[in-house]
Amino acid sequence: MTKKILLTGGGSAGHITVNIALIPLLIESGWKIIYIGSFDGIERKLISDFSEVTYYSISTGKLRRYFARQNFTDFFRVLKGIIEAYKIIRYEQPKVVFSKGGFVSVPVVLGSRLNNVPVISHESDLTPGLANRINMYFAQKICTTFPDTLQHLPKDKAEFIGAIVRPELKQGNSEKGRLFCNFESTKPVILVAGGSLGSVYINQTIRSLLDSLLRDFQIIHICGKGNVEQDLKQEGYQQFEYVSNELADLMCLADLVISRAGSNFIFEFLSLKKPMILIPLSKKSSRGDQIENAQVFRKQGFAEMILEEDLTKDSLLDKIHTVFNNREEYISRMETWNSDRSLSKLFELITNQQN
């Protein structure tokens, strides 16, 4: 009988990368993979790279902790999504469901519970997000990236496994990255990543500093969908909305990273021993999870942090020179960290959890 697994997660790249790391292992082990995501989320684009995966779209709505008119309409979208997910799961009959979180995962987890299919959930951040706070009541197991997250979860369900890093990122080739960007070999490279949706604050600040930065550095700027400035072309500066196939090469090429503080991405930079300047989303536009992630990395000496409200040309330029001039110290501290077993632990946990 065919082994089937259902994966879900979406809304941002951080809710998909663990699934992307798992898919090759599942294919190699003979699992048939079904993915449930949203109609137009980034997960649909990223999962389309895997022809072996069957993708289903469902309705979903944003879960908010505050009053908003959209809460009423989104409630019915979520309800519709639960019905759609229930029907898909009943038809496909997967042995197990793995949820990476994000708004789209809630209807899938509830639909799985209604079909009596076991659910494994994964929380990347230091404290659980709202979707995972809901999902944990229906999951059999909740895996964590940070050991301190265990205190926020039911003791009988929580398990610390560490950070999941896509193996292919460790296969990057800096020379291929250099040729892709048409960069010279004598100048160091800064990689700027504002998250899969981009960051207006980071993009504007970096562009305002180009004249100063390009004297000493070359810059790879992953600025998010629709955020490339076509008229802004300078030698040593390359812009991309999003990078997929060449990402490993560009990460390998980088000497310094300026990034948001989504858990999956900062652990990937950590695994590659890349000194970081983290600019987490503010509490005005998030629940503060990225601030918590960045504080942990700063405390361990892996990164420096600039709060979004403190981000200025001068503050960023000062941090860039500080981190770059002391990069060997950051790299030395990163050498003590290892996550080589995390992916295999998660894979074993998921595939052993069957009806």
Determine contact, residues 195/49, Cβ cutoff 8 Å.
no
For residue 192, the surrounding DSSP H or E stretch is strand 189-193
Are residues 143 and 289 both part of a single domain?
Answer: no
CB 183, CB 249: distance < 8 Å: no
Contact 216, 293 (CB under 8 A): no
Higher per-residue confidence, 113 vs 200: 113
3-state secondary structure 25-80: HHHHCCEEEEEEECCCCHHHHHHCCCCCEEEEECCCCCCCCCCCCHHHHHHHHHHH
Tell whether the model's pLDDT for residue 279 goes beyond 90.
yes
**Three-state SS for 94?**
coil
pLDDT above 70: percentage of residues in the chain? 94
Using the predicted structure, report yes or no on whether residue 204 has a pLDDT greater than 80: yes
Note whether 111 and 201 are same-domain residues.
no
297 shares a domain with 186: yes
- One domain for residues 82 and 177: no
In a shared domain, residues 147 and 7: yes
Kindly state the average pLDDT of the residues 333-340: 82
- Taking CA atoms, 9 is separated from 217, 226, 288, in Å, by 36, 23, 20
Please give the residue that has the higher pLDDT: either 75 or 342: 342
At 194 the pLDDT is 80
- DSSP-derived secondary structure for 130-158: HHHHHHTTT-SEEEESSGGGGGGS-TTTE
Cα 219 from chain centroid? 22
Question: How does residue 195 score in pLDDT terms, banded at 50, 70 and 90?
Answer: low
Q: Do 132 and 220 lie in a common domain?
A: no
The mean pLDDT value of the chain amounts to 90
Q: What is the DSSP letter of 295?
A: H
How far is 262 from 252, CA to CA, in rounded Å? 19
Do residues 159 and 172 both lie within one domain?
no
Query: Average pLDDT in the 227-243 region?
Result: 92
Q: Express each pLDDT in 142-172 by its tens digit.
A: 999 999 999 999 999 999 999 998 888 999 9
- Kindly give, in sequence order, each residue whose CB lies less than 8 Å from that of residue 310, ignoring residues fewer than 6 positions away: none
Residue type, 277: I
**Rounded alpha-carbon distances, angstroms, from residue 105 to 86, 90, 322, 351:** 12, 17, 40, 19
> How confident is residue 248, by pLDDT bands cut at 50, 70 and 90?
very high
Distance between CA atoms of residues 303 and 52, nearest Å: 38
- The pLDDT of residue 70 is 64
Question: Which tokens sit at 76?
Answer: 């019915």
Q: What gap in Å lies between CA 22 and CA 349, rounded to an integer? A: 12
* Alpha carbon distances (Å) from 29 to 203, 346, 353: 42, 14, 15
Cα 29 to Cα 178: distance, rounded to the nearest angstrom: 35
Mean pLDDT of 240-244: 88
Answer yes or no: do 261 and 200 share one domain.
Answer: yes
Tell me the CATH number at 150.
3.40.50.2000
pLDDT in tens, 77-116: 889 999 999 999 999 999 999 999 888 999 999 999 999 9
Helix (H, G, I), strand (E, B) or coil at 211: helix
148 and 70 in a single domain? The answer is yes
Number of domains in the chain: 2
The DSSP letter of residue 169 is: G
pLDDT for 354: 59
Helix H, strand E, coil C: the string for 219-272 is EEEECCCCCCCCCCCCCCEEEECCCCCCHHHHHHHCCEEEECCCHHHHHHHHHC
16 contacts 42 by C-beta, under 8 angstroms: yes
- Whether pLDDT at 198 is above 60: no
Give the range of the structural domain holding residue 11, as residue numbers without chain letter.
3-164+340-351
Chain segment 8-22, per-residue pLDDT in tens: 998 777 788 899 999
Same structural domain, 95 and 195? no
Q: Beginning with the edge strand found earlier in the chain, give each strand of the sheet holding 31-37 in spatial order.
A: 53-57, 31-37, 3-8, 96-99, 119-123, 141-144, 158-160
Among candidate residues 37, 79, 78, the one with its CA nearest the CA of residue 54: 37
221 and 240 part of one domain: yes
Grouping H, G, I as helix, E, B as strand and the rest as coil, residue 311 is coil
**Whole-angstrom distance, CA of residue 320 vs CA of residue 325:** 8
* Cβ(278)–Cβ(259) below 8 Å: yes
Whether 96 and 213 map to the same domain: the answer is no
Q: Name the pLDDT band for 45 (thresholds 50, 70, 90).
A: confident
